Protein backbone atom coordinates (compact mmCIF):
# COMPACT_ATOMS: atom_id res chain seq x y z
CA UNK A 1 0.00 0.00 0.00
CA UNK A 2 1.14 3.49 -0.89
CA UNK A 3 1.06 5.77 2.17
CA UNK A 4 0.99 9.40 1.03
CA UNK A 5 1.09 12.35 3.41
CA UNK A 6 1.25 15.31 1.02
CA UNK A 7 -1.78 16.50 -0.92
CA UNK A 8 0.34 17.51 -3.93
CA UNK A 9 1.98 14.10 -4.13
CA UNK A 10 -1.37 12.34 -3.98
CA UNK A 11 -2.81 14.60 -6.68
CA UNK A 12 0.15 13.87 -8.98
CA UNK A 13 -0.02 10.16 -8.32
CA UNK A 14 -3.75 10.07 -9.04
CA UNK A 15 -3.38 12.18 -12.19
CA UNK A 16 -1.02 9.52 -13.57
CA UNK A 17 -3.53 6.82 -12.67
CA UNK A 18 -6.44 8.74 -14.24
CA UNK A 19 -4.47 8.90 -17.52
CA UNK A 20 -4.84 5.12 -17.60
CA UNK A 21 -8.65 5.60 -17.48
CA UNK A 22 -9.07 3.70 -14.25
CA UNK A 23 -11.94 4.23 -11.82
CA UNK A 24 -11.13 5.52 -8.36
CA UNK A 25 -13.06 4.84 -5.17
CA UNK A 26 -12.63 6.97 -2.07
CA UNK A 27 -13.33 6.09 1.57
CA UNK A 28 -12.76 9.07 3.90
CA UNK A 29 -12.39 8.18 7.59
CA UNK A 30 -11.15 9.49 10.89
CA UNK A 31 -9.27 6.27 11.65
CA UNK A 32 -9.63 3.82 14.55
CA UNK A 33 -10.87 1.57 11.77
CA UNK A 34 -13.36 -1.25 12.34
CA UNK A 35 -15.55 -3.62 10.33
CA UNK A 36 -17.86 -0.74 9.33
CA UNK A 37 -15.02 1.05 7.56
CA UNK A 38 -13.86 -2.30 6.19
CA UNK A 39 -17.22 -2.88 4.49
CA UNK A 40 -16.90 0.45 2.65
CA UNK A 41 -13.38 -0.46 1.56
CA UNK A 42 -14.48 -3.88 0.38
CA UNK A 43 -17.21 -2.42 -1.78
CA UNK A 44 -14.76 0.01 -3.34
CA UNK A 45 -12.19 -2.74 -3.89
CA UNK A 46 -14.89 -4.80 -5.60
CA UNK A 47 -16.07 -1.99 -7.89
CA UNK A 48 -13.15 0.34 -8.46
CA UNK A 49 -9.72 -0.16 -10.01
CA UNK A 50 -8.05 1.84 -7.26
CA UNK A 51 -9.19 2.49 -3.70
CA UNK A 52 -8.03 5.51 -1.73
CA UNK A 53 -8.70 5.64 2.00
CA UNK A 54 -7.99 8.78 4.02
CA UNK A 55 -7.43 9.02 7.74
CA UNK A 56 -7.74 12.52 9.14
CA UNK A 57 -9.31 13.54 12.43
CA UNK A 58 -10.87 16.80 11.33
CA UNK A 59 -10.84 19.43 14.09
CA UNK A 60 -13.43 21.70 12.45
CA UNK A 61 -16.23 19.16 12.79
CA UNK A 62 -15.86 18.73 16.56
CA UNK A 63 -18.04 21.09 18.55
CA UNK A 64 -16.76 19.51 21.79
CA UNK A 65 -12.97 19.93 22.31
CA UNK A 66 -12.93 17.04 24.79
CA UNK A 67 -14.44 14.70 22.16
CA UNK A 68 -11.72 15.78 19.71
CA UNK A 69 -8.90 15.24 22.19
CA UNK A 70 -10.20 11.83 23.24
CA UNK A 71 -11.00 10.63 19.72
CA UNK A 72 -9.41 7.14 19.48
CA UNK A 73 -6.27 6.77 17.40
CA UNK A 74 -4.88 3.35 16.38
CA UNK A 75 -2.56 4.12 13.44
CA UNK A 76 -0.60 0.85 13.38
CA UNK A 77 -3.72 -1.31 13.52
CA UNK A 78 -5.35 0.89 10.87
CA UNK A 79 -2.45 0.43 8.45
CA UNK A 80 -2.53 -3.32 9.06
CA UNK A 81 -6.28 -3.48 8.38
CA UNK A 82 -5.91 -1.45 5.18
CA UNK A 83 -2.94 -3.54 3.98
CA UNK A 84 -4.74 -6.81 4.56
CA UNK A 85 -7.95 -5.51 2.94
CA UNK A 86 -5.93 -4.72 -0.19
CA UNK A 87 -6.37 -0.93 -0.13
CA UNK A 88 -3.92 0.60 -2.62
CA UNK A 89 -3.53 4.13 -1.25
CA UNK A 90 -3.72 5.59 2.25
CA UNK A 91 -3.82 9.38 2.44
CA UNK A 92 -2.56 10.42 5.86
CA UNK A 93 -2.34 14.21 5.86
CA UNK A 94 -1.26 16.51 8.67
CA UNK A 95 -3.42 19.55 9.43
CA UNK A 96 -1.71 22.05 7.03
CA UNK A 97 -2.28 19.73 4.06
CA UNK A 98 -6.02 20.03 4.56
CA UNK A 99 -6.14 23.59 5.86
CA UNK A 100 -3.13 25.35 4.22
CA UNK A 101 -4.62 28.74 5.06
CA UNK A 102 -5.34 27.91 8.69
CA UNK A 103 -8.62 27.36 10.45
CA UNK A 104 -10.05 30.87 10.44
CA UNK A 105 -12.27 32.22 7.67
CA UNK A 106 -13.17 28.83 6.28
CA UNK A 107 -15.82 28.56 3.60
CA UNK A 108 -19.41 28.25 4.84
CA UNK A 109 -21.83 26.06 2.92
CA UNK A 110 -25.53 26.77 2.45
CA UNK A 111 -26.93 23.61 3.94
CA UNK A 112 -30.26 25.18 4.89
CA UNK A 113 -32.76 23.12 6.86
CA UNK A 114 -30.46 20.06 6.95
CA UNK A 115 -28.12 21.62 9.48
CA UNK A 116 -30.85 22.96 11.75
CA UNK A 117 -32.17 19.57 12.92
CA UNK A 118 -30.91 16.48 14.78
CA UNK A 119 -27.07 16.41 14.64
CA UNK A 120 -27.08 19.92 13.20
CA UNK A 121 -29.11 21.24 16.12
CA UNK A 122 -27.16 19.46 18.85
CA UNK A 123 -23.72 19.90 17.30
CA UNK A 124 -23.63 23.48 15.99
CA UNK A 125 -21.08 23.90 13.21
CA UNK A 126 -20.52 20.15 12.89
CA UNK A 127 -21.76 19.82 9.31
CA UNK A 128 -19.90 22.95 8.19
CA UNK A 129 -16.75 21.19 9.41
CA UNK A 130 -17.74 17.98 7.64
CA UNK A 131 -18.26 19.89 4.38
CA UNK A 132 -14.99 21.80 4.77
CA UNK A 133 -12.96 18.61 5.08
CA UNK A 134 -14.87 16.51 2.55
CA UNK A 135 -14.83 19.27 -0.08
CA UNK A 136 -11.06 19.66 0.35
CA UNK A 137 -10.51 15.88 0.20
CA UNK A 138 -12.70 15.54 -2.89
CA UNK A 139 -10.75 18.29 -4.65
CA UNK A 140 -7.55 16.37 -3.95
CA UNK A 141 -8.77 12.86 -4.80
CA UNK A 142 -11.58 13.63 -7.31
CA UNK A 143 -12.85 10.04 -7.16
CA UNK A 144 -15.43 8.39 -9.39
CA UNK A 145 -17.19 6.96 -6.35
CA UNK A 146 -17.42 8.20 -2.78
CA UNK A 147 -18.33 5.63 -0.11
CA UNK A 148 -20.20 6.65 3.04
CA UNK A 149 -21.97 4.68 5.78
CA UNK A 150 -25.69 4.88 6.54
CA UNK A 151 -24.63 4.89 10.21
CA UNK A 152 -24.20 8.66 9.72
CA UNK A 153 -27.54 9.08 7.97
CA UNK A 154 -27.76 12.87 8.15
CA UNK A 155 -24.13 13.19 7.05
CA UNK A 156 -25.01 11.26 3.88
CA UNK A 157 -27.77 13.78 3.07
CA UNK A 158 -25.40 16.67 3.86
CA UNK A 159 -22.72 15.30 1.52
CA UNK A 160 -25.32 14.76 -1.21
CA UNK A 161 -26.20 18.43 -0.81
CA UNK A 162 -22.50 19.40 -0.79
CA UNK A 163 -21.95 17.56 -4.08
CA UNK A 164 -24.74 19.54 -5.68
CA UNK A 165 -23.61 22.87 -4.12
CA UNK A 166 -20.11 22.45 -5.57
CA UNK A 167 -21.38 20.97 -8.86
CA UNK A 168 -19.77 17.58 -8.42
CA UNK A 169 -23.00 15.55 -8.37
CA UNK A 170 -22.50 14.35 -11.95
CA UNK A 171 -18.81 13.60 -11.51
CA UNK A 172 -18.79 11.74 -8.21
CA UNK A 173 -21.24 8.96 -7.51
CA UNK A 174 -22.29 8.68 -3.86
CA UNK A 175 -22.49 5.12 -2.54
CA UNK A 176 -24.25 4.70 0.80
CA UNK A 177 -23.43 1.42 2.53
CA UNK A 178 -25.48 -0.34 5.25
CA UNK A 179 -24.60 0.00 8.92
CA UNK A 180 -22.38 -2.80 10.19
CA UNK A 181 -23.24 -3.95 13.71
CA UNK A 182 -21.74 -6.03 16.48
CA UNK A 183 -23.52 -9.36 17.01
CA UNK A 184 -25.60 -7.79 19.81
CA UNK A 185 -26.79 -5.02 17.46
CA UNK A 186 -24.58 -2.14 18.59
CA UNK A 187 -23.60 -0.10 15.52
CA UNK A 188 -19.84 -0.26 15.09
CA UNK A 189 -18.19 3.05 15.89
CA UNK A 190 -14.69 4.23 16.69
CA UNK A 191 -16.12 5.79 19.86
CA UNK A 192 -17.23 2.33 21.11
CA UNK A 193 -13.57 1.79 22.00
CA UNK A 194 -13.99 4.34 24.78
CA UNK A 195 -16.89 2.53 26.50
CA UNK A 196 -16.22 0.78 29.82
CA UNK A 197 -17.26 -2.91 29.98
CA UNK A 198 -20.39 -1.86 31.93
CA UNK A 199 -21.36 0.78 29.37
CA UNK A 200 -20.57 -1.61 26.50
CA UNK A 201 -23.04 -4.10 28.02
CA UNK A 202 -25.80 -1.45 28.10
CA UNK A 203 -25.08 0.08 24.67
CA UNK A 204 -27.01 -2.48 22.53
CA UNK A 205 -30.20 -1.07 24.08
CA UNK A 206 -29.91 1.71 21.47
CA UNK A 207 -30.46 -0.74 18.62
CA UNK A 208 -33.13 -2.65 20.56
CA UNK A 209 -35.05 0.61 21.05
CA UNK A 210 -34.83 1.48 17.34
CA UNK A 211 -36.06 -2.03 16.47
CA UNK A 212 -38.90 -1.69 18.99
CA UNK A 213 -40.03 1.49 17.23
CA UNK A 214 -39.73 -0.07 13.79
CA UNK A 215 -41.72 -3.13 14.87
CA UNK A 216 -44.49 -1.22 16.60
CA UNK A 217 -45.01 1.76 14.35
CA UNK A 218 -48.42 2.32 12.84
CA UNK A 219 -49.76 5.15 10.75
CA UNK A 220 -51.20 8.04 12.76
CA UNK A 221 -49.76 9.78 15.79
CA UNK A 222 -46.36 8.38 16.75
CA UNK A 223 -45.75 10.50 19.83
CA UNK A 224 -46.57 7.79 22.37
CA UNK A 225 -44.33 5.24 20.66
CA UNK A 226 -41.42 7.68 20.69
CA UNK A 227 -42.11 8.41 24.35
CA UNK A 228 -41.94 4.67 25.09
CA UNK A 229 -38.60 4.53 23.29
CA UNK A 230 -37.26 7.46 25.32
CA UNK A 231 -38.35 5.80 28.56
CA UNK A 232 -36.56 2.58 27.57
CA UNK A 233 -33.36 4.50 26.87
CA UNK A 234 -33.55 6.58 30.04
CA UNK A 235 -34.20 3.51 32.18
CA UNK A 236 -31.10 1.89 30.71
CA UNK A 237 -29.06 4.93 31.80
CA UNK A 238 -28.71 6.97 28.61
CA UNK A 239 -28.90 10.74 28.44
CA UNK A 240 -30.82 11.52 25.25
CA UNK A 241 -30.10 14.29 22.75
CA UNK A 242 -32.89 13.12 20.46
CA UNK A 243 -34.97 10.12 19.46
CA UNK A 244 -36.99 11.12 16.47
CA UNK A 245 -38.88 9.96 13.42
CA UNK A 246 -38.18 11.89 10.24
CA UNK A 247 -38.68 11.76 6.53
CA UNK A 248 -35.90 9.58 5.12
CA UNK A 249 -35.75 11.88 2.09
CA UNK A 250 -35.66 15.33 3.72
CA UNK A 251 -35.23 14.71 7.47
CA UNK A 252 -38.30 16.81 8.23
CA UNK A 253 -39.62 15.58 11.58
CA UNK A 254 -42.69 13.36 11.40
CA UNK A 255 -45.06 13.07 14.32
CA UNK A 256 -48.14 11.97 12.44
CA UNK A 257 -47.21 9.36 9.87
CA UNK A 258 -49.41 8.74 6.83
CA UNK A 259 -48.11 5.18 6.54
CA UNK A 260 -46.66 5.93 3.11
CA UNK A 261 -43.79 8.37 3.51
CA UNK A 262 -40.25 6.97 3.69
CA UNK A 263 -39.40 7.03 7.35
CA UNK A 264 -36.24 6.81 9.42
CA UNK A 265 -35.86 6.74 13.18
CA UNK A 266 -32.71 8.44 14.45
CA UNK A 267 -31.14 8.80 17.85
CA UNK A 268 -28.16 10.36 19.62
CA UNK A 269 -27.47 9.44 23.23
CA UNK A 270 -24.74 9.79 25.80
CA UNK A 271 -23.37 6.95 27.88
CA UNK A 272 -20.62 7.78 30.37
CA UNK A 273 -20.26 11.09 28.52
CA UNK A 274 -19.59 9.31 25.21
CA UNK A 275 -21.95 10.29 22.42
CA UNK A 276 -23.33 7.49 20.26
CA UNK A 277 -25.62 7.80 17.24
CA UNK A 278 -27.66 5.26 15.32
CA UNK A 279 -30.63 5.06 12.98
CA UNK A 280 -32.91 2.57 11.30
CA UNK A 281 -34.91 2.92 8.12
CA UNK A 282 -38.47 2.17 9.20
CA UNK A 283 -39.88 2.13 5.71
P1 LIG B 1 -15.68 7.91 10.64
O2 LIG B 1 -14.29 7.34 10.67
O3 LIG B 1 -16.47 7.64 11.87
O4 LIG B 1 -15.71 9.36 10.22
O5 LIG B 1 -16.43 7.12 9.49
C6 LIG B 1 -15.93 7.04 8.18
C7 LIG B 1 -17.01 6.44 7.30
O8 LIG B 1 -17.33 5.13 7.77
C9 LIG B 1 -18.32 7.25 7.33
O10 LIG B 1 -18.86 7.28 6.02
C11 LIG B 1 -19.17 6.45 8.25
O12 LIG B 1 -20.56 6.59 8.02
C13 LIG B 1 -18.72 5.03 7.95
N14 LIG B 1 -19.05 4.16 9.07
C15 LIG B 1 -18.77 4.37 10.38
N16 LIG B 1 -19.29 3.37 11.15
C17 LIG B 1 -19.92 2.53 10.29
C18 LIG B 1 -20.66 1.31 10.46
N19 LIG B 1 -20.87 0.78 11.67
N20 LIG B 1 -21.16 0.72 9.36
C21 LIG B 1 -20.97 1.25 8.12
N22 LIG B 1 -20.28 2.39 7.90
C23 LIG B 1 -19.76 3.02 8.97
What is the predicted pLDDT for the residue at 258? 97
> d(Cα 162, Cα 108) in Å, to the nearest integer?
11
Cβ contact 146:169 at 8 Å: no
pTM score of the predicted model: 0.98
Strand boundaries in 150-260, DSSP class E: 173-177, 220-221, 239-247, 256-257
**Active site includes 126?**
no
- pLDDT < 70 stretches in the chain: none
Sequence-ordered list of residues with C-beta below 8 angstroms from that of 141, at least 6 positions apart, any chain: 10, 14, 24, 26, 52, 54, 91
What is the predicted pLDDT for the residue at 39? 98
Q: Ligand 1, closest atom to CA 32?
A: 2
What is the predicted pLDDT for the residue at 141? 98
Q: Is the CB of 159 under 6 A from ligand 1?
A: no
Distance 28 CA to ligand 1 centre (A): 9
What is the predicted pLDDT for the residue at 97? 98
Given 37, 38, 126, 135, the catalytic residue: 37
Per the prediction, the chain carries an average pLDDT of 98
Burial degree of 91 (CB within 10 A; 0-12, 13-18, 19+): buried
Q: Is the CB of 40 under 6 A from ligand 1?
A: yes
Q: Is the CB of 149 under 6 A from ligand 1?
A: yes
Amino acid sequence: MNIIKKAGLLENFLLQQKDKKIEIGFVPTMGALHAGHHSLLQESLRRDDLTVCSIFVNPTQFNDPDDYEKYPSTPLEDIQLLESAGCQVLFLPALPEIYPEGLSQLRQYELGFLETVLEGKFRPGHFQGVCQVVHRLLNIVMPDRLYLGQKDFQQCLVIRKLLSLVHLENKISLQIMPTIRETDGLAMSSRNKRLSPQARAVAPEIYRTLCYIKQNIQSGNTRELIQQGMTKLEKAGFKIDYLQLASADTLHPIEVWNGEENLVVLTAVFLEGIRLIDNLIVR
